[in-house]
Amino acid sequence: MIRTHSYWLLFCAVFNKDLKLAFRQRSEIINPILFFLIVISLFPLAIGPEPGLLARMAPGIIWVAALLSTMLGLDKLFRDDFNDGSLEQLMVTPYPLSLTVFAKVAAHWVVTGLPLVLMTPLFALLLNLESNALLATLFTLLLGTPLLSFIGAIGAGLTVGLQKGGILMSLLVLPLYIPVLIFATSAIDTSAMSLDYSGQLAILGAMLAIAIISAPIAISSALKVSVS
């Protein structure tokens, strides 16, 4: 048995394990999407189905629904690993915990964020978005949902040791989501007026870059507190 230290191997191991688990319990993938769809279809029922009004509200509706549906999967992100002791095992490996965390967050995004991005055309259809705004929605979800996963994982890491961490986690995380919400919806709004929205996308991209670098550190120190 030769010991090889390869960050890539560790990333693959953690990422594959989480994906495997998610695909074994398919409800974990399907439920957030269903939740998203149901929330979106509640709005036309609540505010009336006029196409103009819906198109005006669509960015807000899509993004609030996206925030809420990412929250669903977040609570489980570290909970199973915490309960069965895998988290402790991952901490006594010679690898930095932030890399493990990065792989887990990436897997979480593939399971909850990516499906939302892929289903954007369907939401656009339901909410009467035009093609310009559809493209903007696609881009903002593509940049924004990984950001949601990274920020949310900080809250998940902080609350994983608590019995009823779920609601507390949303209280901690949702205020931190506000900038994402503001820039993403404004990008879609701007695109609906056929204006240039690359500025908002650039800001989202910058925030994502900062989150990719700094969030894993925060998440791993949060997990260390929870495990201690």
Partner 1 sequence: MWKWLHPYAKAERAYQLCNTLLPYFTVVCVATMIIGWIWGLAYAPADYQQKDSYRIIFIHVPSAILSMGAYSSMAIAAIVALVWQIRNAELAVIAIAPVGACITAIALITGAAWGKPMWGAWWVWDARLTSELILLFLYLGVLSLYHAFEDKKAAGRAASILAIVGVINLPIIHYSVEWWNTLHQGATITKLDTKAIDPSMFWPLMVNIVAFAAFVGVVTLIRLKNEILQREKHRPWVRQLLTQE
Partner 2 sequence: MQLAGANGAGKTSLLRIIAGFSVPDEGEVLYQQQAISQVYEEYTSDLLFIGHKTGVNTQLSAIENTHFWLQASGYKKPTDLYPLLAKLGLIGLEDVPVRTLSAGQQRRVALLRLWLNEAKLWILDEPFTALDKSGVAYLQDRFKQHLSQGGAILLTTHQDLTAQFNDLKTFTLEYRY
Binding site for partner 1 (CB under 8 A): 154, 158-159, 161-162, 165, 168, 171-172, 174-176, 178-179, 182-183, 186, 207, 214, 218, 221-222, 225-226, 228
Stretch that binds partner 2, among 64-72, 79-87, 141-149, 213-221 (CB under 8 A): 79-87
Of 11-19, 35-43, 59-67, 187-195, the segment contacting partner 2 by CB under 8 A is: 11-19
Number of Cβ within a 10 Å radius of residue 111: 20
The verdict on 26 binding partner 2 (CB under 8 A) reads: no
User: Is the distance from CB of 208 to CB of 142 less than 8 angstroms?
Assistant: no
Q: Please select the residue that binds partner 2; options are 40, 67, 90, 219, rule is CB under 8 A.
A: 90
Q: How far apart are CA 226 and CA 60, in angstroms?
A: 34
Provide, rounded to whole angstroms, the least separation between the CB of residue 123 and partner 1: 23
Min CB(75)–partner 1 separation in Å: 14
Q: Is 194 in the site for partner 2 (CB under 8 A)?
A: no
Selected from 89, 194, 198, 214, the binder of partner 2 by CB under 8 A is 89
Burial 44-77 (b: 16+ CB within 10 A, else e): beeeeeeeeebbebbbebbbbbbbebbbbbbbbb
30-38, 90-98, 106-114, 116-124 -> range binding partner 2 (CB under 8 A): 90-98
Instruction: Read off φ and ψ for residue 176, nearest 5 degrees.
Output: -75, -20
CA angle 71/74/78 to nearest 5° reads: 165
Q: CA geometry: angle at 61 spanning 121 and 69, to 5°? A: 80
- Compute the least distance from the CB of residue 84 to partner 2, in Å: 6
Picking from 102, 105, 115, the residue whose alpha carbon sits closest to that of residue 30 is 115
CB of 220 to partner 1, least distance (A): 10
In contact, 192 and 63? CB cutoff 8 Å: no
Q: How many residues does the chain have?
A: 228
CB of 63 to partner 1, least distance (A): 13
Q: Does 100 bind partner 2 (CB under 8 A)?
A: yes
Residues forming contacts to partner 2 in the complex (CB under 8 A) are 1-6, 9-10, 12-14, 17, 20-21, 24-25, 80-81, 83-86, 88-96, 100, 224, 227-228
